[in-house]
A and B are shown apart, each in its own frame.
Chain A
Amino acid sequence: MLIRSKQLLLDASVIITAHEIDVWNDLLREVDVAVTSIIAHDESLFFSKEAGLVPAPINITALIQQGAIPELSASMSEIERVRAVFDEELNMALHDGEVEAIAILYADQSDSLLFCTSDKVAIRVLAMLGLSDSGVSFEEVLKATGLSKPLPHEYCAEYFDRYIAEGQTARIQGKGAPYD
């Protein structure tokens, strides 16, 4: 997988973990990182009531304003298209930011994007929509950029592959996104 040649769409958990293990700034230097507009504008995702729990100041809005990372926005029709494919259960299952990321990938004809997520539900949905090759684990990203560090298991390739396989099975069985 040519990770360095693609734009990397990061989910919120990956952004938090990249700060926690102190690779955030290196990551921005090594790869072309992007975030969805909903994640960029949802301050509550990175907020903590308790002082000290946020690993380092996470200010995505400032980075976007500085031009350090782009904000990708799905159009209404792109979100509508992906929502229409989901059954009722999947429509309830995902955060709007995750739906936006998947809608962007679903509409992407250029094959230039990779979604980096650690969420098993989101990983499975990627495969259910035939987007298995549009996702990547955080472990693989760090490996490709020479920034490897020990990670919780949900950020590892093995975990990612397991839920991709589950999603592919569900796709064959017509579960979750029956009209795809």
Chain B
Amino acid sequence: MGEVQKILGSRIRSLRKKLGITQQALAEQAGLSAYQIVSEIERGRRDVKAWELVKIADALHTEVRYLIAGDEPAPARVLWRDYPEKGAAAIEASFLKSCRQYHGLESLLGITPKRDLPVVELNPETASYGDAMLAARDVANALDLGGRPAAALIAVLEGNYSVKIWYEDLAEAGSAASALGDFGYGILMHREQAPWRRNFSLAHELFHLITRTTISKESVGENQALAEKVERLANGFAANLLLPADVLEVEIEARVKHGKISYGDLVELARDFDVSTEALLWRLVNCRKLTADQARTVLNDPRFRSTDRSTMPANWRQPAPLPERYVRLAFLSYQREKLSRARFAQLLGTSLIDLSATLLEYGFELEDTDAYQIETTVA
């Protein structure tokens, strides 16, 4: 076999090892009949068929063109809040591939971020809760999030800053991750979390992106205490971002009667801000509207829990399988004749036959763009 096969084989081996999977596992995931096929390919002793290469690229969460040309994108910087127990490397690789495809669609359409995300320089060793609070206020102003930040956060991050937000089942241990790479910014969220927890996770991950210049894996290193402090700062930032003190104060005052607030009002307020009741109560402690003992008492009260649970089903929104903005960009790319139909279906993870039905789920109708045209006054 030639040099080309050897080089390709070594690229495949290197990516497989990065994912921490065996030749047997790769063979199974790629639908190859035996691990010996992978072994032969990795040693450059087998002429790889085009279809085998496609299946191997899919299993390695990369693209055929990267395997062939060897121009694998520069590594991204990924920070996990909690690393999933199983399959973390594969989830990360799949997330990064999705971010690159998303960025590819932006490039096809000539879309660049309207602005760059603000940078907040925090020294993880010396930063305090107050610093995180100030950062949240500044970022909320810079992003123009308004009085209900959770309601605006996704649209602002995606639309203005081209942050690629994906959802994945991260199992019990994983919660979220942020990434910075050649595609810009990415955030991976846990699909199965309650919507208000996802909002908190999103704000938490935003902290990691805005502190990208001073807080990194390298700056925290193996120092577990420092890593935990950074996570507390990110939580403080998230609580302050999603529950701005001035707005919260007005809303609380409107609900207090004779110095008391009802459980129902507390739950309704949490839903209004799209945060968990826990996040709301601890924020009220932080704003000196409640004591920590009062918060614990409320949170441990079964009547409060029952009131909280009773409002959940109506407010529980599961994210769509794909980000709606990603689908819109893919649809626009197809409409503007920048994607073939088969590639379009592939990017949406569906078949040619199911393409119309998949698009309808996102509110798009697949019509031939040439079929309907109107006259305009634009020359």
Q: Is A139 an interface position by the 8 A CB rule?
A: no
Interface digits, A32-66 against B, CB 8 Å rule (1 contact, 0 not)?
A: 00001110111011111110011000000000000
The residues of B that contact A131 with a CB separation of less than 8 Å are none
Q: Is the CB of B64 within 8 A of A42?
A: no
The residues of A that contact B291 with a CB separation of less than 8 Å are none
Nearest B residue to A84 by beta-carbon distance? B69
Docked Cα-Cα span, A91 to B54, in Å, equals 15
Interface class of chain A by DSSP: helix
Docked Cα-Cα span, A154 to B357, in Å, equals 20
Stretch at the interface among A1-9, A23-31, A74-82: A74-82
Docked Cα-Cα span, A37 to B340, in Å, equals 18
**Selected contact of B5 from candidates A47, A76, A94, A95, CB within 8 Å:** A76
The residues of A that contact B69 with a CB separation of less than 8 Å are 80, 83-84
The residues of A that contact B341 with a CB separation of less than 8 Å are 13, 119
The residues of A that contact B343 with a CB separation of less than 8 Å are 92-95, 98, 121
Q: Is the CB of A98 within 8 A of B352?
A: no
Stretch at the interface among B42-50, B116-124, B265-273: B42-50
Nearest B residue to A88 by beta-carbon distance? B107
Q: Is the CB of B351 within 8 A of A93?
A: no
Q: How far is the CB of A152 from chain B (nearest CB, A)?
A: 8
Interface class of chain B by DSSP: helix
The residues of A that contact B351 with a CB separation of less than 8 Å are 44-48
**Selected contact of B340 from candidates A74, A93, A152, CB within 8 Å:** A93
Nearest B residue to A96 by beta-carbon distance? B54
Nearest B residue to A90 by beta-carbon distance? B338
Docked Cα-Cα span, A126 to B101, in Å, equals 24
With A37-B51, A92-B108, A119-B342 as known contacts, state yes or no: A83 contacts B352, CB within 8 Å.
no
With A41-B55, A48-B351, A79-B68 as known contacts, state yes or no: A13 contacts B342, CB within 8 Å.
yes
Q: Is the CB of B342 within 8 A of A97?
A: yes
Q: Is the CB of B353 within 8 A of A79?
A: no
Interface size on A, residues (CB 8 A): 49
Docked complex: B32-80 residues within 8 A CB-CB of A = 47-51, 53-55, 64-65, 68-69
Q: Is the CB of A76 within 8 A of B4?
A: yes
Q: Is the CB of A122 within 8 A of B4?
A: no
Q: Is B354 an interface position by the 8 A CB rule?
A: yes
Q: How far is the CB of B98 from chain A (nearest CB, A)?
A: 14
Docked Cα-Cα span, A120 to B339, in Å, equals 9
**Selected contact of A77 from candidates B4, B105, B338, B371, CB within 8 Å:** B4
**Selected contact of A119 from candidates B50, B104, B340, B371, CB within 8 Å:** B340
Interface digits, A78-122 against B, CB 8 Å rule (1 contact, 0 not)?
A: 011001100011011111111110010000000000000001111
Q: How far is the CB of A37 from chain B (nearest CB, A)?
A: 4
The residues of A that contact B51 with a CB separation of less than 8 Å are 37-38, 40-42, 73
Interface digits, B340-366 against A, CB 8 Å rule (1 contact, 0 not)?
A: 111101100001111001000000000
Docked Cα-Cα span, A100 to B346, in Å, equals 15
Sorted nearest first, the 4 A-B pairs with minimum C-beta distance are A95-B342, A41-B51, A37-B51, A121-B340
**Can you offer 18 A-B residue contacts whose CB atoms are under 8 A?**
A13-B342, A37-B49, A38-B54, A46-B351, A73-B51, A76-B47, A76-B53, A79-B64, A92-B343, A93-B108, A93-B339, A93-B340, A93-B343, A94-B343, A96-B50, A96-B64, A119-B342, A124-B337
